[in-house]
Structure 1
Amino acid sequence: MISKRIEKPDARLSIGFIYIAFIALFLGGLMGLLQTLVRSGEFTLPFGIGYYQILTAHGVLLGLVLTTYFIIGFQYTLMSKSVGMSEKQRKWAWISFTMMVIGTLMSGTMILLGKANVLYTFYAPLQAHPIFYIGLALFVVGTWISCFVNFSQLRQWKKKYPGEKSPLMAFMVVINMLIWLISTLGVAATVVLQYIPWSLGMVEEIDILVSRTLFWYFGHPLVYFWLLPAYMAWYTIIPKIIGGKIFSDSLARLAFILFLLFSIPVGFHHQLTEPGIDPFWKYIQVVLTFMVTIPSLITAFSMFATFEMTGRKKGYTGLFRWLKGLPWKDVRFLAPFIGMVAFIPGGAGGLINASNQLNGVIHNTIWVTGHFHLTVATTVVLTFFGISYWLIPVLTGRKLTKQINKLGIIQTFIWAVGMTIMSGSMHIEGLLGAPRRSAFSNYGGTQQAQEWVGYQIAQAIGGSILFIGILLMVYIFIKLAFRTPKGEEEFPVAEYADPTERTPKVFENWRLWIGIAAVLILIAYTIPFIDIIQNAPPGSPGFKWPIGNT
């Protein structure tokens, strides 16, 4: 029931999303390089460009545009491969793409014009031009259409094959799009109901705590929206590349269901230092946050079980000699594997971020930025790069050559070295109290600021190495998309280690899992949200802030 090839109309759809993703990679990477140079104190931005202008562009382009476009394009490919796509679904997918691009151009233009220097989180009282918020809303609605296209694809397949277990790849895509759909309701609500009227002058004030709470209702699940496509590749693609098989269908589905349940009702752990939220509810959400470690540990167990079984099957015995049986010279494996290894310290840092006491040490320091660069910019992005080496040839009808594979290995090590230097120095500087979101010039001439200088220079060095890695990756993308020889590249889809494994039917009970997720969200947010509104400062619906930037 798995299709042997991707239909050309589906390939054109997916590659359209991937094109936008790599444009965002180049532009966002350039903005990141400029940031690190400015923070080193050795570089001044030309042409009157502001630091927070490039900071906003970097966060939006890489944290939202690159990830979302790549994920949706990749997921359309997985759905086309596993359950197919009808002409009507393809039409709606292109409508989604069009709306997302229009919204991206609207918001991006305002950032480039310096009219939306509101950072990635766009916290009030910072205020952007109305077009920025309208573009953001249009972008989100466009992604919702993609959600329903994916839902429709699986539903249509289930009608065609009643009573059969849905393909694992399609199951995973639907879980991830459910997380996106449910979580973006929060950011859409604050943008449409608060920010757009406020920016248009229709209201003079908005409730700051409500807006931040609605943002983080979305902001933390976003991390898992980034991460789960990497997990999809780890579970279903990597085993095929290494010559192995999927360890367990049931464990894979269970991990994704647990992410659906525990990834959304946890936004308060980003607001542990904020007044106006009862500590009891912060505690509840911290507990739920730690529950997310369970599916991550399940995934780690499943993946390394697959690696060990594959190595031993090839004749490598001993405690760790099975590692020799893995294809270290295949960039399709090497890049995601280094991403997996990076997730070990990245996950440990996440536990620190979510811990009430430890969070007080690193909250709003550049440690948090270093953490994001370990998880998203290393684990996720390196996996996306690894996917690209086979996905782009599949979509463009070209071959992954030995030369590109060697360049990919070089690019992977460049990325790993650059990120180790940059993220490592961010973590250390954060422990020394250096703030995030701030340019070097804002620190003043304090003795403490002088202690940070060496780490900021290290970040500039690491950022420069990373930008070399970005240039090389963009070159590789262009070669794979337009220049390598024509041919048919394998779409690697792994088989099950145990084809007779019986996956519990309850895993396919979508009403049950969506219902449990809704209940957890209501428990975690209903009472504290009512408290936030009822206990707002006297005489106002929220914290009063004047219109305009502050």
Structure 2
Amino acid sequence: MWSNKVDRKDGKLAMAHLYVAFIALLLGGLAGLLQVLVRTGEFQLPGNIGYYQILTVHGVLLALVLTTFFIIGFQFAGLSRTAGTLSSGVRKAGWIGFWLMTIGTAITATFILLNEASVLYTFYAPLQAHPGFYIGLTLVVVGSWVSGFGMFTHYSKWKKTNKGKVTPLLSFMVIINMVMWLVATLGVAAAMLVQFLPWSLGFVDTIDVLVSRTLFWYFGHPLVYFWLLPAYMVWYVIIPKIIGGKIFSDALARLSFILFLLFSIPVGFHHQLTEPGIDPTWKFIQVALTFMVVIPSLMTAFSLFATFELYGRSKGATGLFGWFKKLPWGDARFFAPFVGMLFFIPAGAGGLVNASHQLNQVVHNTIWVTGHFHLTLATSVILTFFGIAYWLIPHLTGRVMTKAMNKLAIVQTIVWSVGMFFMSSAMHAAGLLGAPRRSSFSTYGDAPQALEWIPYQMFQAIGGSILFLGIILILIIVINLSFFAPKGETDFPIGETAEQAEKTPAIFENWKLWIGVTIALILFAYTVPFIDMIQNAPPGSKGFKFW
């Protein structure tokens, strides 16, 4: 049976994760604001702060710390709500994972702030950071594993005590996401422990750059889906309840998550299309596998808008788009995620450009790619995370969101959308003109094309400034919901499946099958090219004793 409320002790565990996530949002957002100001050429960083130093702070805190902490906190709360109160052992694992990640974050941040690790969140070799940077990130990954195994244990316990029953949909989705995360982070852990740490500690003189980048992007692409799938959980399971409708199809939702698991990991080469040393045939194969992920994305869009239309029709809507007017536009819990869904339409189109071998040649390593990430993670995902906060935080703290806070949340969503429209549009346009990714004005100010890029850098600064205002607004709301909102009961909304939906097939929870297929796809996509990289490594990297 589902519990109507997350257990108080489980809530404290979830809230601890959320507090760290929003602190990371503030610090990372401030670094992002400084970045866009520097790129105008009219602003100089104070003291001896370096541009790539704040760029690394921005990437690590927002792309890795904010997302990982928020997602794990949300998923623990979701499991407690749908699969019952966490056992003391699972809760202990959650706290161990939390402190490992927090300590790792503190270590990593320390060396970035000391300017000993200005290597961006991708930490590409041959850029080298202080060993503390790699140790800190390794602790973050290991901490997430400990939390993940706690989630697996809780899920397994539910299955044993509810034999023959279909797992709650949200719990199923959480486990899919953590399985994907565990498999994907094996790549980055291997790169850290076997390559970067021995190299940074001076045990070896060289590093195989191609292998290190391949291991990173083996992790880096499913990282995008680790961000995205919690948003999908909300769109599939939470939003139908918020609007007063039903989940269109439990089976369709589960199938889409299984397909994301299968096709999100063995596709890292589409981030390496311009790199030598990888056979073009294997690049083509992984590009083809990348495009397979369009299928569950379109399934999701169909399912969501079917839910909206069925709800609207039940309220008397007529005509092709009459249901659109029936949606609860004044409810920030719905409005923020829905705007995120709308932004995902151009974000998905940009992703197709990035993954296409021919079109990628035009935009590769330009600021277009940065604009794409800001549409996917910084808009679709983050707006959905904000929508989660509007009901999850008061649910966990025993408070209620007032009408004033709801109105402020609506304003925050609009402010964020306007800011991102300016900034991301300018990034995409400048990218098409060849403006480089990750670069400051001082590094390209003498380029012949630089004058063409300046107006777009100004628009980026305008957009970034508006976005920072959006960060201030969301922090005001989060602080209010955490400490000052009126005491009361807030629901943790879980949707019910429509009566006419087809029964969920049992095969969807055959974990041996789906994990086996995932491993088979990974081995197929990576074994031969990986062996080729090692056998044909450049002379310098062959001296790397660990291969």
In structure 1, what residue type is equivalent to 2:47? F
Equivalent residue for 1:93? 94
Alignment-derived partner of residue 349 in structure 1: 350
Q: State how far apart, in whole Å, the 2-side matches of 1:180 and 1:406 are.
A: 36
Does the CA contact (< 8 Å) of 1:221 and 1:263 recur in 2?
yes
AA paired with 1:521? I
1:445 partner SS: coil
Partner of 2:514: 513
The aligned counterpart of 1:15 is 15
Q: How does 1:78-157 map to 2 (within 5 A)?
A: 78-84=78-84, 85-157=86-158
Question: What is the aligned partner in structure 1 of residue 505 from structure 2?
Answer: 504
Residue 356 of structure 1 deviates from its aligned partner by: 0.2
Match of 2:268 in 1: 267
Aligned to 2:222: 221
Distance 2:247 2:447 in 1: 55
Aligned to 1:427: 428
Give the corresponding residue for 2:35. Answer: 35
Per the alignment, do residues 319 and 107 of structure 1 end up closer, same or farther by CA in structure 2, a change over 3 Å counting?
Answer: same
Shift of residue 542, structure 1, vs aligned partner: 6.9
Q: Distance between the aligned counterparts of 2:424 and 2:2, measured in 1?
A: 40
CA deviation map 1:346-371 (0-9, x unaligned):
00000000000000000000000000
Segment drifting more, 275-284 vs 438-447? 438-447
Partners of 2:195 and 2:501 in 1: CA distance: 53
Give 1:441's aligned residue. Answer: 442
Contact 2:204 2:544 in 1 (8 A): no
Given residue 389 of structure 1, which amino acid in structure 2 is its aligned partner?
Answer: Y
Structure 2 gaps, min length 5 = none
Shift of 1:375: 0.5
Q: Deviations over 1:439-487 (max 9, x none)?
A: 0111133331011000000000000000000001101100010011000
Q: Alignment length, in residue pairs?
A: 544
Please say if residues 537 and 543 of structure 1, whose CA atoms lie closer than 8 Å, have aligned partners that are also in contact: no
Letter of the 2:74 counterpart: F
- Paired letter, 2:420: M
Deviation digits for residues 27-66 of structure 1 (CA, Å, limit 9, x no counterpart): 0000000000000111000011000000000000000011
Counterpart position of 2:206: 205
Q: Which whole-Å CA distance do the structure 2 matches of 1:36 and 1:188 have between them?
A: 32
Task: Give the whole-Å Cα distance in 2 for the aligned partners of 1:440 and 1:480.
Answer: 40
Measure the CA separation in 2 of the matches of 1:224 and 1:106: 26
**1:120 Cα deviation after fit:** 1.1
Q: Tell me the residue number matched to 1:60.
A: 60
Secondary structure of the equivalent of 1:447? coil
Contact 1:400 1:484 in 2 (8 A): yes
Is the contact between residue 265 and residue 522 of structure 2 (CA under 8 Å) also seen in structure 1? Answer: yes
* Superposed CA offset, 1:270-320 (max 9, x none): 000000000000000000000001000000000000000101100111111
Matched residue SS, 1:442: helix
Deviation sequence 1:215-234 (CA, Å, 0-9, x none): 00000000000000000000
Query: Do structure 1's residue 398 and structure 2's residue 399 form an aligned pair?
Result: yes
Q: Distance in 2 between matches of 1:348 and 1:361?
A: 15
Mapped partners of 2:139, 2:195: distance in 1: 15
Counterpart AA for 1:198: W
Cα separation, 2, equivalents of 1:332 and 1:124: 42
SS in 1 for 2:449: helix
* One-letter amino acid matched to 1:489: T
Asked if residue 25 in structure 1 is aligned to residue 31 in structure 2, the reply is no
| 1:548 paired residue number | none
- Work out the CA distance in 2 between the residues paired with 1:340 and 1:539: 47
Q: Cα distance, 1:252 vs. partner?
A: 0.1
| TM-score, with structure 1 as normaliser | 0.98
Distance across 2 between alignment mates of 1:491 and 1:83: 13
Letter in 2 for 1:15: M
Q: Identify the residue that residue 524 of structure 1 maps to in structure 2.
A: 525
Instruction: Decide whether the 8 Å contact of 1:207 with 1:542 is kept in 2.
Output: no
Q: How far apart, in 2, do the equivalents of 1:42 and 1:310 lie?
A: 51
Distance 2:53 2:431 in 1: 23
Deviation at 1:402, TM superposition (A): 0.3
Unaligned stretches of 5+ residues in structure 1: 545-550
Misfit runs of 4+, over 3 Å? none
> What CA distance in whole angstroms lies between the structure 2 residues aligned with 1:208 and 1:491?
46
Paired position in structure 1 for 2:74: 74
Q: What secondary structure is seen at the aligned counterpart in 2 of 1:237?
A: helix
Quick check: 70-79 or 439-448, which moved more?
439-448
Q: Which amino acid aligns with 2:367?
A: I
Residues 109-131 of structure 1 show CA distances to partners (whole Å, capped at 9, x for unaligned) of: 10111100001100011111111
Alpha-carbon deviation of 1:501? 3.4
Structure 1 match to 2:478: 477
